[in-house]
Structure 1
Amino acid sequence: MMGPSHAVTGAAAWLFIAASVPTTLGVVDGVDGPALGVGMLVAAGAALLPDIDHRNGTIAHSLPPISGWAARVTERLSGGHRKGTHSLLGLVIAVAWAYLAAVIAIPVGQGNSFYLGAGIASVLLCSFAIRALELVEGRLMLWIVSIALALTVVLYGADNWAWFPAALAVGYAAHLVGDFLTVGGIPIFWPLVLKSPKWWRKVPILADVWKANGAISAPVLGKSGSTREKVLIAILTTWMVWVCIFEWTGFNALAWIAPLATA
């Protein structure tokens, strides 16, 4: 998937898991209105996080110089692009990191705390989403907007920070699913690399599912940036707009359909 598509699917996955209107599950505890909104930002950024394994990628240039350093370190530790960070192990490590970040806090008096870990993590994640969606231009504006959004996450993220690692997990998993549905696939069991046998690679459909490099895919979306991917993102975006309006205003823009369906 392309970067903007990952960001959209991450935000959509968070709404599907955490919102509590029809077509959503509402299974994450401690998510009120503000936490649902800022969780979308975190999930959208987290959906770009696996691509920090590429030092020359868009994400590596999202918040220089910090993102560049992080990309170089991650690329070396994960074995290169679309390897360690695109696996179940990468997901587990990212969620563990999010849990640690969620509990790092500084007392600020009167029983209040400033969640420093979540704030720092949110700056990076928000910058990913901003960069992928091309919402601002210039390094300075990227820093300003990322910090502003991160402060919003910290100030309005609700007292229960259990939603933070949940949002990161949902966004990260959405990225893995998105790449799994494209022809490139993902090495889901990395560092265990199971290469397909030679006879398997000679069968057209099977060769697309289990590849010679060990990647596994169900390429229903075709190549990254395909028309099928764009149609999916259009549908998800429309659905998100409806869910957000319903969730925060109580207005069901599709209520008129129900009488027609029962007529």
Structure 2
Amino acid sequence: MLGRTHAATGWCAGLALAPLLGAHTLPQAVVVATVTAGSALLPDLDHGSSRASRFVGPLTGLLSALAQGASRGLYQLTKGPRDEPVSGEHRHATHTLAFAALLGWWINWATGSMGTWAVGAVLAVAALLAVDALGDWVLAAAAFVALLWLANGNPEHELAAVAGWIGWAVAAGCLVHCLGDALTLSGCPFLWPIPIAGETWYEIRPPRLLRFRTGGPVEQFLVLPACTVAGVLLLPGVWPMLLDLTDH
């Protein structure tokens, strides 16, 4: 999937996840969706030309090189007898449920240990990644939430509340990325290290008729528009409002 589509599916997943995290109001749901949208780009740090890898120039470029090296090493150490003779860089270590869970756990630990400034840092990175992929309207939404927090007079309290779930939102974004890549022609080995058919890195994917090419017509003209519509309908209050309009 393209970075924009990953971020769009992450946004939708965040809005669906928000009520489960106790985020029932529109501003709270926007915060969750922004985190999942930005986090849905993180697995592609294993690709040198991805949005996440180019995000902060040399800094994220270095993170990308480290991610590629770690993924390559992990693949060589854990590949099964029937795994393909590939480098093991892109769509391997960072494209797994294990990576999503580990990153989410680490962020929950870090934000819980370091305080609200760490929560703010994670929110800022996620928001800027989402803006880079989806456009300035995400920045406007984030600014709206920040102004509401300031108007309420206790932004630190709001950040402390976010600390309770932000790691889960990051993990959800990474997992949505993997599920999206699983729908493409190549599939995604997100169940590593579970061995399947002699492969430790078995590419999970649906039947070929249900898969599409990354950046192809299905993604551009079906998946992305569907995510755009869903991203609006899933906002708190929008669907009930539409139902009320149809009743009249």
Indicate whether the TM-score tops 0.5: yes
Report how far residue 101 of structure 1 moved: 3.0
- Contact conserved, 1:30 with 1:162, CA < 8 A, in 2? no
Deviations 1:134-181 (A, max 9, x none): 549xxxxxxxx7xx86x9499484542222122212211111111111
Q: Which position in structure 2 is the counterpart of 1:240?
A: 231
Q: State TM-score, norm by structure 1.
A: 0.70
Q: Pick from 177, 180, 183 the counterpart of residue 179 of structure 2.
A: 177
Rounded to whole Å, the distance in 1 between the matches of 2:197 and 2:240 is 51
The one-letter code of the counterpart of 1:229 is E
Rounded to whole Å, the distance in 2 between the matches of 1:229 and 1:173 is 19
Q: Which position in structure 2 is the counterpart of 1:95?
A: 104
Q: Which position in structure 1 is the counterpart of 2:192?
A: 190
Rounded to whole Å, the distance in 2 between the matches of 1:223 and 1:152 is 38
- Contact conserved, 1:196 with 1:213, CA < 8 A, in 2? no
Q: Which has the larger radius of gyration?
A: 1
Q: Which position in structure 2 is the counterpart of 1:14?
A: 14
1:11 counterpart SS class: helix
Q: Could you tell me the percent identity over the aligned residues?
A: 25
Instruction: Give the direction of change, closer, same or farther, for the CA distance of 1:192–1:251 in structure 2 (3 Å limit).
Output: closer
Q: Pick from 44, 55, 58 the counterpart of residue 51 of structure 2.
A: 58
Q: Which position in structure 1 is the counterpart of 2:130?
A: 129
Rounded to whole Å, the distance in 1 between the matches of 2:243 and 2:216 is 29
- Contact conserved, 1:104 with 1:118, CA < 8 A, in 2? no
Deviations 1:21-62 (A, max 9, x none): xxxxx2223554432211111110011111111233221111
Rounded to whole Å, the distance in 2 between the matches of 1:184 and 1:102 is 35
Instruction: Give the direction of change, closer, same or farther, for the CA distance of 1:102–1:30 in structure 2 (3 Å limit).
Output: farther
Aligned length: 218
Q: Pick from 54, 66, 86 the counterpart of residue 73 of structure 1.
A: 66
- Any residues of structure 2 matched to 1:158-237 within 5 Å, and which? 158-160=159-161, 161-191=163-193, 194=196, 214-218=202-206, 219=208, 220-230=210-220, 231-237=222-228
The one-letter code of the counterpart of 1:10 is G
Structure 1 range deviating more: 60-69 or 186-195? 186-195
Report how far residue 213 of structure 1 moved: 6.8
- Contact conserved, 2:12 with 2:234, CA < 8 A, in 1? no
Rounded to whole Å, the distance in 2 between the matches of 1:54 and 1:105 is 30
Q: Which position in structure 1 is the counterpart of 2:93?
A: 84
Rounded to whole Å, the distance in 1 between the matches of 2:244 and 2:230 is 14
- Contact conserved, 2:35 with 2:169, CA < 8 A, in 1? yes
Rounded to whole Å, the distance in 2 between the matches of 1:122 and 1:65 is 21
Rounded to whole Å, the distance in 2 between the matches of 1:243 and 1:124 is 23
Larger helix proportion of the pair: 2
- Contact conserved, 2:54 with 2:61, CA < 8 A, in 1? yes
